[in-house]
Chains A and B, each alone.
Chain A
Amino acid sequence: MTGSVHHTIYRSEDVPLGCIPPPEELEDTLHGLMKLNGLIIRSLEEIAGRGANAVTYRAGRKFGHEVAKYFRKIENIEEALVELSHILRGQYTFELWKPADKPSFIIEENGATFIYLVFHDCIVRQTLRRNGQEQGGPLCQTLYGYVVGAIEEITGRRAKLEIVHTGPNGCLKKLILK
């Protein structure tokens, strides 16, 4: 600590003019949050069992509605997903994906209509890996809820997100349109 720090006068109404902590300081905060979230989820699972998924899904869905309600409404689902990927940048990075033999992103199979999404950067995956927890559990449900809530908000359409695969560098999800 430098001497000048001790002589700085702070008043309660003062708002800090700058907020540029070094990455090392942010890292401590981020890792602390990751630890806390990991432990909350573990405890929730211990107490509520499978009910934990319902809680985390609902929390994510509220978050999705909350974030997306400030954005313009779009009917086209592909366009809405691209918009959503911009909204979520920084927490989740995802893109529309399709197997090479499919002509378009919107796939119709066995009476269901869906779109594959590959999630690259994901704050949930990072939290789980920091704590040595498995992917695909209740914390991942927050992400499902988040995407479903945001899609409902932007397009007005009901949707469901299903996990297809989880990996260390990316996860494949299926957005089922209703």
Chain B
Amino acid sequence: MIEITVDKDACNACGLCVKDCPMHVYELKDGVAVPVRVENCMGCLSCHEICPTQALEHRGIYPSKRHYIDIRVCEMLNRVI
């Protein structure tokens, strides 16, 4: 099951996720994005890409393969993070 968390302190209510999500998962309520239709999320992560404050977090989605990223870069990031 997919879970979406919004960091309320980070979200600046720009509404980009509301406009961009094809499944209308989010709505703005009291100055923050709220996932109101999580059951319709298909895990595309467009909202992550568009959110300027990186306020979103998904759990339970299928992480698609990213062979386009260099193995060496991944290894380096793994060491740093």
Contact = CB atoms under 8 A, between A and B. Distances in A.
Given A168-B48, A168-B49, A99 B64 contact: no
Q: Which residue, A118, A120, A167, A172, has most C-beta atoms of chain B within 10 A?
A: A167
B70 interface: yes
Nearest to A130: B68
A85 interface: no
Could you tell me the dominant secondary structure of chain A's interface residues? mixed
Contacts of B61: 169-170
Nearest to B67: A126
Q: Which residue, B43, B62, B64, has most C-beta atoms of chain A within 10 A?
A: B64
Given A100-B39, A118-B43, A165-B44, A170 B62 contact: yes
A93 interface: yes
A164 B70 CA distance: 30
A121 interface: yes
A30 interface: yes
Interface in A10-31: 23-24, 27, 30-31
